[in-house]
Amino acid sequence: MTVKIAPSILSADFARLGDEVKAIDQAGCDWVHIDVMDGHFVPNLTFGPPVIKAIRPWTAKCFDVHLMIDPAQPYLESYAKAGADYIVVHAEADLHIDRSLQVIRSLGKKAGLSLNPATPENVLDYVLDRLDLVLVMSVNPGFGGQSFLDSQLEKIARIKKMIGGRPIELEVDGGITPETAPKVIAAGATVLVAGSAVFKSADYAANIEALRG
């Protein structure tokens, strides 16, 4: 099975966001990755639900909404209504992970849990059956264009083993380039997020293909 590519629109031209979403769709992306930041959990601010609602008509592809916000629980319904397909919360931003994951599924959405680089994989131990996706951060979240942390390769491989035969996507986010992608795929990733590597130059289709390994 080929790896899915989820361009992060954090690196898109915000003045033309609808066109940019359409362009990555036509360039053959699998999902659209949307980085939601609150200026508190991470030192940056990005998209609220109205922005997601505004770009929803521009593609039929899956919206993978990465919530870097603390708390996340009060906003889950708003992001679900805005058009998210996957809603991913951070293990470090939530005292009640099990409950948040249940809420996401009760809203009819796929539930994901994201782990910062220093967070060990054992936070997954008692929630695996509530998950549709695990997101391994391979940079410290907050900004695009950072360098991939090789320390995360071992964690990706360990999580792959924990997942076993369950239908859970293993997504990796941060510093993905044509050079780092093969290592991440070899470790077991099924979805690669890429911001700068997709939007760095005009030929989005070529940039996406270059990541598939």
Binding interface with ligand DX5 (CB under 6 A): 8, 10-11, 33, 35, 66, 139, 141-142, 144-146, 173-176, 193-197
Helix (H) or strand (E) holding 31: strand 31-37
Q: Are 134 and 159 in contact (CB under 8 A)?
A: yes
d(CA 122, CA 17) in angstroms, rounded, equals 37
Select the binding partner of residue 190 from Zn ion, ligand DX5, none (C-beta < 5 to 8 A, by kind).
none
d(CA 165, CA 135) in angstroms, rounded, equals 17
Determine whether 35 is an active site residue: yes
Q: Which residues from 19-38 bind Zn ion, rule CB under 5 A?
A: 35
Residue type, 91: A
Catalytic site residue from 30, 35, 38, 64: 35
Tokens of 69: 């916000």
User: DSSP character for 211?
Assistant: T
Closest CA to 155 of 193, 123, 112: 123
Q: Closest approach of Cβ 129 to ligand DX5, in Å? A: 25
| Complex with Zn ion: residue 88 or 103, whichever CB lies closer | 88
Determine whether 125 is an active site residue: no
Using DSSP, state whether 36 is helix, strand or coil: strand
x/- letters, 164..183, toward Zn ion (CB under 5 A): ---------x----------
Output the residue with the shortest Cβ distance to ligand DX5.
195
Number of continuous H segments (helices) and E segments (strands) in the chain? 8, 8
Q: Closest approach of Cβ 44 to ligand DX5, in Å? A: 8
Phi first, then psi, for residue 31 (nearest 5°) are -125, 170
Select the binding partner of residue 176 from ligand DX5, Zn ion, none (C-beta < 5 to 8 A, by kind).
ligand DX5
Rule CB under 5 A: is residue 64 a binding residue for Zn ion?
no
Q: Closest approach of Cβ 164 to ligand DX5, in Å? A: 26
> Site residues (CB under 5 A) for Zn ion?
35, 66, 173
Give me the active site residues, please. 35, 173
